[in-house]
Structure 1
């Protein structure tokens, strides 16, 4: 299988691929308002895209904050789910040399995706909450 993961800090072609995946998954499938999904903060994040045979299939973004590395917008196109691509993109973020020395990775997971994050060592903290009409939980990985 021809799999590669690209990352970008610019709003370039790789970012446009990430955006198209998010548009399909979050806006198209889940009905999230595009203005909430594309909230104006993409320019501050590093975007990661998984390509299979040069087709973008999964994405996530990460931002360094005062609380650690904030992972967001993890999405896989419907036809490519349950093949490990979301885990691949998350592992790429965790292994990225730009985060050497970072000891805390955190995210707000959709309730249905908690198991995926647990396989990477994330643990749930706090109470579940609603965001964009979808039940989420806070998760953290300390290392």
Structure 2
């Protein structure tokens, strides 16, 4: 399985939105009005492709001049467990480091917490709900 991850332009987010719609809206029943938010234009979006088909996506957004936040990380169900999510997170981390971020934060759905822990993220704070899905805040420091 040949996976490629590409940073996409702000004008061409349709592949990212397609994956997010299938995962968050259709599979997890998140309302579309919560899924698409005011940060779409300021975020940097990435899409994972297999044979030209979008199978995963994630976005990166600056919180302050040293901290970025990974958001909207999603992989289509048939492709989970095959390294697609790991490649997306590596792309986000490389972009963050390239722009001199010192840490990356995210809000992980509880079922994905172990995935992020394997990538070096540490949980902090209390569990909370977002879109009726239980989450935990996580962080990885680069330096």
Alignment of 1:1-143 (within 5 A): 1-12=1-12, 15-66=13-64, 68-96=67-95, 99-143=98-142
The alpha-carbon deviation at position 9 of structure 1 amounts to 4.1
Give TM-score, length-normalised by structure 2: 0.93
Cα 1:33–1:97 change in 2 (3 A) is closer
5+ residue gaps, structure 2, are: none
Could you list the per-position Cα deviations for residues 12-56 of structure 1 after superposition, in whole angstroms to 9, with x for gaps in the alignment? 1xx110100000000000000100000132111000001011111
Aligned length: 141
Which stretch has the larger CA shift, 96-105 or 37-46? 96-105
Is contact 1:7-1:49 (8 Å) kept?
yes
- Could you list the structure 1 runs, at least 4 aligned residues long, displaced by more than 4 angstroms after superposition: none
Coordinate RMSD, CA, aligned: 1.4
- Shift of the alpha carbon at 1:10? 1.1
